[in-house]
């Protein structure tokens, strides 16, 4: 049996790194995607099984297509894509500069779309595969100081739900995880160390996501909502 190929964007830290560790331990070949090679190498240092690192800006369709073409040529078709890459800039709507607006829409929304487009044709051709979108509870409810971040995540939610309808007659599965804040570098400079310490652990979130993604007979979990207990 061929080794399954798992692609994780935003794999350099936090949830992406936790997911990479678990899928690697389970025997999958894990493709670590991200913008910063040093962070990806840090994640890779904790993996004992086969893996590869790909530097990529998911907001660039050209870069995304290049990387996924390389993955297909060297490893074969992708069995699981986890769209985890994301960025947040939090402030009152009128204070967000143009660069912050572009980054959140380009990485959070366009990045998810571009990576999904890169694997979808082959998955549909094979009539198998899984795409998991890591969305955030900001894709369910608007939040003060998170207007554009939330807008990008509502966009991912709309993309996910629409694609689920497109794939109803297919065995390609689409999953969405809507979760609250986790302990990660994402919140550095936004929350205090004490506030970050009280957030959910990425390892716990990874366990929940993997348990819900798992293929089960006559059962399909389309989404899960994971919130802090306070």
Which residues are marked as active site?
Answer: 149
Buried b (16+ CB within 10 A) or exposed e, 9-26: bbbbbbbbbbbbbbbbee
* Beta strands in 24-163, from DSSP E residues, in sequence order: 29-34, 51-55, 80-83, 130-134
Separation of alpha carbons 197 and 200, rounded Å: 8
Separation of alpha carbons 169 and 111, rounded Å: 25
Separation of alpha carbons 156 and 98, rounded Å: 20
Buried b (16+ CB within 10 A) or exposed e, 159-169: bbeebbeebee
Q: Are 18 and 205 in contact (CB under 8 A)?
A: yes
Q: Are 77 and 126 in contact (CB under 8 A)?
A: yes
């Amino acid at each position: 049996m061929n080794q399954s190929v798992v692609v994780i964007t935003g794999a350099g830290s936090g949830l992406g790194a936790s997911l990479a560790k678990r899928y690697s331990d389970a025997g999958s070949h894990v493709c670590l995607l991200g913008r910063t090679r040093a962070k990806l190498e840090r994640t890779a240092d904790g993996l004992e099984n086969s893996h590869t690192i790909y530097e990529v800006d998911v907001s660039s369709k050209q870069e995304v297509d290049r990387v996924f073409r390389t993955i297909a040529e060297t490893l074969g078709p992708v069995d699981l894509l986890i769209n985890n890459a994301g960025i947040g800039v939090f402030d009152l709507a009128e204070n967000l500069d143009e660069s912050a607006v572009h980054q959140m829409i380009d990485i959070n929304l366009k990045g998810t779309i571009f990576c999904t487009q890169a694997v979808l044709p082959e998955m549909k051709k094979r009539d198998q595969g899984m795409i998991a979108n890591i969305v955030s509870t900001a894709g369910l409810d608007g939040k003060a100081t998170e207007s554009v971040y939330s807008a990008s995540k509502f966009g991912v939610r709309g993309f996910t739900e629409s694609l689920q309808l497109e794939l109803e007659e297919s065995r390609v599965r689409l999953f969405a995880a809507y979760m609250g804040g986790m302990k990660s570098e994402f919140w550095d400079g936004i929350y205090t160390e004490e506030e970050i310490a009280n957030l959910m652990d990425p390892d716990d979130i990874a366990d929940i996501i993997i348990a819900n993604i798992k293929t089960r007979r006559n059962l399909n979990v389309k989404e899960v909502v994971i919130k802090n207990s306070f």
